């Protein structure tokens, strides 16, 4: 398959709203089976996100000042925000999951915001990435839940105080709802980012398209303002989806800590 991971960078303007999601191989490594292994711009953005988060949370806090500077304040605000979220969802025992939820929140937030930079690539617009993160969350929930509560963890699927005959109906529903968690968690983030970027690109190209349509060009402010509004909305979505991802992670982790219904 030659198409998807282009070795050459083609930043040329193309009215194709899907083009922006293509992966570009920066360092090709070859193949495993039919899998194409390469260091892509997506991987580069992932490591850039790690670098930015490290800058905020480690480099900026290295002076450990009692009166924080701007960057240290930022790190403290993020920390307290996520610590509050985790504490609200899971109580005191949830503190051990703080690094996981914090890393997920910062990773998703920074990647989403990277995607808002013009010409930049939105890593979270790839389902496999968001699904990988969601699978990690559910994996931690299941593994930790079974380790801590043994088979009692599966009481999660058995609502208490329900008559036996109804259980035959409810248990499958609970299992399906549990299995759909990683799917909904990943698809929510992926679809939001993907749809937002497609919408922005389409409306932006309406502006260009109207200019080449004679008198219709006078209408160009309409899609222009829509694009501006959509950009603002997408910034909101970028932050909100990171928050939603972190909050849902904390709520799911609460099931691992307290599996009772």
Partner 1 sequence: MAEHKSLTTPPANSDVKVVPSQGGHDAGHGTAHTGQPAHGAAFPPFETHTFLAQLIWLAISFGLLYYLMAKIALPRIEAILHARSSRLATDLDEAQRMKSEADAAGVAYETSLRDAQGKAQGIAQEARAKLAAESDKRRKDKEAELNAKIAASETTIRESTARAMGNVREIAGETAASIVERLTGHAPDRDSLDRALGAVH
Determine the longest span between alpha carbons in the chain, in angstroms: 71
Report the nearest approach of partner 1 to the CB of residue 213 (Å): 17
The two structure tokens encoding residue 47: 């490591």
Question: Minimum Å distance from CB 67 to partner 1?
Answer: 9
Residue 11 main-chain phi, psi, to 5 deg = -90, 5
Token code pair at residue 211: 């200019």
Q: What residues make contact with partner 1 under the rule CB under 8 A? A: 1-8, 10, 12, 14-19, 21-23, 25, 28-29, 31-32, 34-40, 42-43, 46-47, 49-50, 53-54, 57-58, 61, 64-66, 68, 72, 75-76, 79-80, 98-100, 102-103, 106-107, 125-129, 132-133, 136, 190, 194
Task: Decide: 186 and 134 in contact? Cβ < 8 Å.
Answer: yes
Smallest gap, in angstroms, from Cβ of residue 222 to partner 1? 23
User: In terms of CB distance, is 65 or 160 closer to partner 1?
Assistant: 65
| C-alpha span between 60 and 73 (Å, rounded) | 9
Nearer of residues 19 and 181 to partner 1, judged by Cβ:
19
Q: Nearer to partner 1 by C-beta: 128 or 166? A: 128
φ, ψ (nearest 5 deg) of residue 32: -125, 110
In whole angstroms, the minimum distance from the beta carbon of 53 to partner 1 comes to 6
Three-state SS at 61: coil
Measured CA distances, 149 to 79, 152, 154, 177 (Å): 29, 5, 9, 20
Which lies closer to partner 1 via its Cβ, residue 34 or residue 151?
Answer: 34
**Cβ-based nearer residue to partner 1, 40 or 112:** 40
Nearer to partner 1, 130 or 227 (CB): 130
Q: Which stretches of 93-163 are DSSP H helices?
A: 98-115, 127-149
Q: Catalogue the E-assigned strands of 116-256.
A: none
Helix or strand run (H / E) with residue 199: helix 164-211
The least distance separating partner 1 from the CB of residue 165, rounded to whole angstroms, comes to: 42
Residue 202 CB, nearest distance to partner 1 (Å)?
Answer: 11
């Amino acid at each position: 398959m030659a198409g998807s991971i282009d070795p050459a960078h083609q930043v040329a303007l193309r009215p194709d709203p899907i083009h922006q999601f293509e992966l570009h191989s920066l360092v090709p490594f070859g193949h495993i089976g039919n899998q194409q292994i390469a260091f892509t711009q997506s991987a580069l953005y992932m490591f850039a996100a790690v670098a930015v988060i490290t800058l905020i949370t480690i480099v900026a806090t290295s002076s450990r000042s009692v009166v924080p500077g701007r960057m240290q304040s930022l790190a403290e605000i993020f920390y307290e925000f996520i610590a509050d979220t985790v504490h609200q969802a899971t109580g005191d025992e949830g503190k051990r999951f703080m690094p996981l939820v914090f890393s997920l929140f910062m990773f998703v937030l920074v990647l989403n915001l990277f995607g808002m930079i013009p010409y930049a690539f939105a890593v979270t617009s790839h389902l496999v990435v968001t699904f990988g993160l969601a699978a990690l969350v559910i994996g931690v929930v299941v593994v930790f839940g079974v380790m801590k509560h043994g088979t009692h963890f599966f009481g999660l699927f058995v609502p208490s105080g329900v008559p036996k005959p109804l259980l035959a109906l409810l248990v499958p529903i609970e299992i399906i709802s549990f299995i759909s968690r990683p799917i909904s968690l990943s698809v929510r983030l992926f679809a939001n980012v993907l749809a937002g970027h497609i919408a922005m690109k389409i409306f932006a190209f309406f502006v260009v398209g109207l200019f080449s349509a004679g008198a219709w060009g006078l209408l160009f402010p309409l899609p222009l303002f829509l694009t501006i509004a959509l950009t603002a909305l997408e910034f909101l979505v970028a932050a909100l989806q990171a928050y939603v991802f972190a909050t849902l992670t904390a709520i799911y982790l609460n099931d691992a800590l307290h599996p009772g219904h």
